[in-house]
Structure 1
Amino acid sequence: MAERILVIEDDPDIQHLLDLTLRDEGYETVTATTAWEGLSIARSTRLDLAMVDLNLPDMNGSVVTKKLRNDHCHLPIVILTALDAIEHKVHLMDLGANDFIVKPFNSDELLARLHVQFRQKSEGTLRVGVLEVNFRTGLATWAGRKLELSGKEFELLGYLARHPGRVFRMEELYGSLWMEEEPSESLLRVHMFNLRRKLETAGVVGVIRTVRGLGYGLVLPS
């Protein structure tokens, strides 16, 4: 069964381009031109991923993202935005977005980002010590306690958990999780700081290792 993608985009040209690109790749698409239409579809239709334009005529895309995340906690959400500021990207992730595409976008990059989301969902559950990362549901637990993470924080933790003890270069992490040629160390640092803070709030201290001048790794207690 083909993955079904909801596209909420009010620009007819962009919506048409997305529809053609996704269908040519084998995806099934459902389209909406307003936020309320998209939210209505999401409540009544099986979906595997949602793409949301940030500037919709009836509701800001950030509000749509928050509503989708509240109603569908496991649904991957990708934001379409013309804004490229780091603070803006972090804010979208905190609202529940899994990723973002900056307009104008390259179709190959867009498809690559979607492939990452679907690959993670298909990986099932990873257990490393007392850490459990469920890629299908987008939930992580530590010794049975749920970790309250944003989409990108979850992806970071899952990526590090695949190879505990290994130190990943910043360029490798950024290239794998953001699929961009020019790595933004500041954006990665912000997400890593937030991940550490949320882990510490849950009582998980010292598991994210920083190697100055190199990168980050996950160190689990023996």
Structure 2
Amino acid sequence: MRILIVEDETTVNKTLSEGLNEFNYQTDSAENFKDGDYYLDIRNYDLILADWMLPDGSGLELIQKAKANNPKTAVIILSARDDKESEIEALEAGADDYIKKPFDFDILIARIKARLRFGGSNVIEIDSLSINPQEEKVVYKGKEIELKGKPFEVLTHLARHRDEIVSKEQLLDAIWEEPELVTPNVIEVAINQIRQKMDKPLGIQTIETVRRRGYRFCYPQKNSEEQ
């Protein structure tokens, strides 16, 4: 599960990140609207924790983009505003939940778990292929495929952006916690594993290499759709 934290109070941001990591959530942290918007351009999230009042914008403005990227991404607005009208405004803007500051961390965790159960991470279904990010499971025509770890994450990311060409650099930024510490050939290794464990045994093609540009999810192929 990956969570984006957009909170301008450094102490609160750090507390949230460290606390969520202890519950085995992967987190990215931003302290302003610009950085939060940047993360939404390169990664998909199961849930977003966004402060309403940011130094360069509003957390509410992130909701529309987050939902456009992935309609099932849950968004929880954090705010010091404790009036009923503000809560209604946030929910009507598309927020899935509204938590007033200061908050109890244990209650926040419970609300996050409940929200993710309700509809955070979503199953990607394309023709006969099903990818479940939450359970790290790939199923093709009812048969489960053994694909885990980074190859699974690469497949999932490309499937979520199946109308786009995704570069190696974008994949590194989206999936690896410290992309600057790994070389781009780890992407080639992951792609090769997908092809060895899925494409060849199943007789399908899921990922196309676009020379000098990156990779594109290509299942099902157009010629098979037309037959």
SS in 2 for 1:26: coil
Cα distance, 1:43 vs. partner? 1.8
Q: Which residue of 2 aligns with 1:168?
A: none
Q: Which residue of 2 aligns with 1:162?
A: none
Q: Which residue of 1 aligns with 2:91?
A: 93
**What RMSD, in angstroms, separates the aligned Cα atoms of the two structures?**
2.1
Q: Which has the larger radius of gyration?
A: 2
1:66 paired to 2:92: no
Provide Cα deviations, 1:13-63, integer angstroms capped at 9, x if missing partner. Answer: 000110111011111101111112111111211311111011101111222
| Separation in 1, partners of 2:59, 2:49 | 10
Identity %: 29
Cα distance, 1:71 vs. partner? 3.7
Q: Which residue of 1 aligns with 2:30?
A: 32
1:41 paired to 2:39: yes
Is the contact made by 2:79 and 2:99 (CA closer than 8 Å) also made in structure 1?
A: yes
Extract unaligned runs of 5+ from structure 1.
126-135, 137-222
Q: Which residue of 1 aligns with 2:105?
A: 107
Q: Which amino acid aligns with 2:21?
A: R
Q: Which amino acid aligns with 1:115?
A: K
Is the contact made by 2:52 and 2:79 (CA closer than 8 Å) also made in structure 1?
A: yes
Cα distance, 1:72 vs. partner? 3.1
Q: Which residue of 2 aligns with 1:117?
A: 115
Extract unaligned runs of 5+ from structure 2.
124-133, 135-227
Cα distance, 1:123 vs. partner? 9.9
SS in 2 for 1:29: strand
Is the contact made by 2:76 and 2:95 (CA closer than 8 Å) also made in structure 1?
A: yes
Q: Which amino acid aligns with 1:103?
A: K
Q: 1:55 aligns with which of 44, 53, 56?
A: 53
Instruction: Point out 4+ residue stretches in structure 1 off by more than 6 angstroms.
Output: 122-125
1:77 to 1:24, Cα distance in 2 relative to 1, 3 A: same
- The count of residues paired between Structure 1 and Structure 2 equals 124
